[in-house]
């Protein structure tokens, strides 16, 4: 399945979640691309959109290779196999976490204006425009679970079969495409432009957020 763009993928994804409307779910999108996806889904389900920011920690020689991801409270979800295989030193990881925490704080304040969440006993849907290793999503899942939601769902248009299977062990998963052969999320979209900060701010303001 090839999607025209993020909106097209989101509409298809929303159709599989119409039954969740009555639960008044909390929609948490991962910026930036996931916010465009989440915007469509939130409107289809008739609920506001919110965001959650988890940031990938890249390997020393290849920053695109995730050795883990960190949340705004400093909790780190490591990709232990890769860390051990590359012998990544703790000092490197600590320095990268510190740097990414600054970026997380900047994004949360710029996009939603605060860092407070109320997820206890609620249905939470985590949304992105696609995943590869899933590092940022696993970190988000780990953090959300600590907030004691009633139900946790991950909704994504596309991700590799292996990662989707791993996700299904820790959350309910709604996915449109889970290919065995996977190179990058963008290859499943005809249009996959970068989403900039200003677009995210506009979307979140429309959902009632007051970015600072």
pLDDT digits (tens, 9 = 90+) for 117-133: 999 999 999 999 999 88
**CATH for 104:** 3.30.1310
Spatial CB neighbours of 203, under 8 Å, sequence gap ≥ 6: 35, 36, 39, 49
Residues 125 and 27 in one domain: yes
Distance CA 207, CA 86 (A): 43
What pLDDT is stored for residue 212 in this prediction?
80
Q: CA 179, CA 89: separation in Å to the nearest integer? A: 33
Are both 121 and 193 inside the same structural domain?
yes
Low-confidence ranges of the chain (pLDDT < 70): none
State residue 161's pLDDT score: 97
Do 128 and 192 lie in one domain? The reply is: yes
The pTM of this model reads 0.93
């Amino acid at each position: 399945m090839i999607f025209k763009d993020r909106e097209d993928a989101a509409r298809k994804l929303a159709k599989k979640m119409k039954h969740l409307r009555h639960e008044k779910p909390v929609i948490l999108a991962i910026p930036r691309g996931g916010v465009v996806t989440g915007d469509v889904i939130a409107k289809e389900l008739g609920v506001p959109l919110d965001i959650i920011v988890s940031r990938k920690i890249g390997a020393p020689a290849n920053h695109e290779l995730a050795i883990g991801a960190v949340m705004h409270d400093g909790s780190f979800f490591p990709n232990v196999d890769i860390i051990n295989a590359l012998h990544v030193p703790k000092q490197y990881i600590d320095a990268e976490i510190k740097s990414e925490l600054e970026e997380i704080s900047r994004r949360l304040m710029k996009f939603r204006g605060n860092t407070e969440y109320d997820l206890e006993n609620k249905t939470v849907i985590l949304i992105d425009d696609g995943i590869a290793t899933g590092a940022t999503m696993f970190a988000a899942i780990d953090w959300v679970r600590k907030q004691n939601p009633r139900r946790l769902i991950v909704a994504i248009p596309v991700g590799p079969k292996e990662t989707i299977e791993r996700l299904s062990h820790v959350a309910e998963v709604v996915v449109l495409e889970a290919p065995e052969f996977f190179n990058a999320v963008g290859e499943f979209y005809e249009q996959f432009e970068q989403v900039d900060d200003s677009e995210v701010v506009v979307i979140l303001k429309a959902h009632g957020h007051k970015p600072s």
